[in-house]
Amino acid sequence: MKESFTLDTKIAVKKHKHANKEADERLFWKNGFGFNSLEDIPVKVEHMKLSGTDITAVELSYLAERIKTIGMLDLNHTNFGNEGIRALLKLESVRELRLKENEGIDNDCMEDIGQMPDLEFLHLRGTAVNVDGLTKITSLKKLSTVLVSDDREEEWIRKAMAPIVAALPDCSFSVNNIQFYPREPWEKILAEQQQGHSENL
């Protein structure tokens, strides 16, 4: 697996539109990553850094159609909107998704994020996603860390987070400065034993 992959911050395919998709895509890979041939693009990348770029949803679609597995995808400080998250569903696997300070995404993108089963780390602070959006990702059982912002009162946040924490007991949530810690290892073992006992009855 290729260890690191960084997008040239000067890339801007939208400024060089061609008459067909293939020409645009080839320009994206050549100018952004130095690939002269689409066949040279790896299908697996451990670390892909796209933070601070003006990457678009269309360009993310190019990316996800070629690279199928990404360990950590850094999209902090971008502004591609919910359609960019939808484009990422073409990926077969992504473990870490960093979206900090992307003001273009909101709770409407969370159903799509909920379809990324290998996701372990999700950074949403500084986006328009809040606690309400977290209800759409409770099926992601591999999640271990989620960071999100919410401008409502702490009492409301704690009440709203209760069913989310219950659905993902092994995940650590950070909402503003409010921490929701995962259950202790012994609690997990006890729960598994109790479940096994119930199934044997």
- How do residues 156-178 score in pLDDT, each as one tens digit? 999 999 999 999 999 999 999 89
Please report, for residues 25, 108, 118, the alpha-carbon distance to residue 144 in angstroms, rounded to integers and kept in the order given: 34, 22, 11
Q: What is the mean pLDDT of residues 176-187?
A: 81
Identify the pLDDT of residue 177.
Answer: 86
pTM for the predicted model, two decimal places: 0.86
Cα dihedral value 58, 60, 64, 65, nearest 10: 20
Identify the pLDDT of residue 1.
Answer: 47
Residue 19 has pLDDT above 50, yes or no: yes
Question: What domains are defined for the chain?
Answer: 2-200 (3.80.10.10)
84 — pLDDT class (breaks 50, 70, 90)? very high
66 within 8 A of 93, measured Cβ to Cβ: no
Identify the pLDDT of residue 178.
Answer: 95
- Average pLDDT over the chain, rounded to an integer: 88
155 — pLDDT class (breaks 50, 70, 90)? very high
Identify the pLDDT of residue 139.
Answer: 97
For the stretch 93-96, contacts whose Cβ atoms lie closer than 8 Å and that sit 24 or more positions apart, written own/partner, are 93/68, 93/69, 93/118, 94/69, 94/70, 94/118, 94/119, 95/70, 95/71, 95/119, 95/120, 95/121, 96/71, 96/72, 96/120, 96/121, 96/122
95 within 8 A of 116, measured Cβ to Cβ: no
Residue tagged 């993902």 (tokens): 168
- DSSP bridge partners of 172: 145
Percent share of the chain, pLDDT over 90: 76
- Residue-wise over 63-79: b if at least 16 C-beta within 10 A, else e? bbebbebbbbbbbbbbe
| Strand 44-49 with 69-74, pairing | parallel
Phi and psi at residue 21, to the nearest 5°: -60, -40
- How do residues 102-141 score in pLDDT, each as one tens digit? 999 999 999 999 999 999 999 999 999 999 999 999 999 9
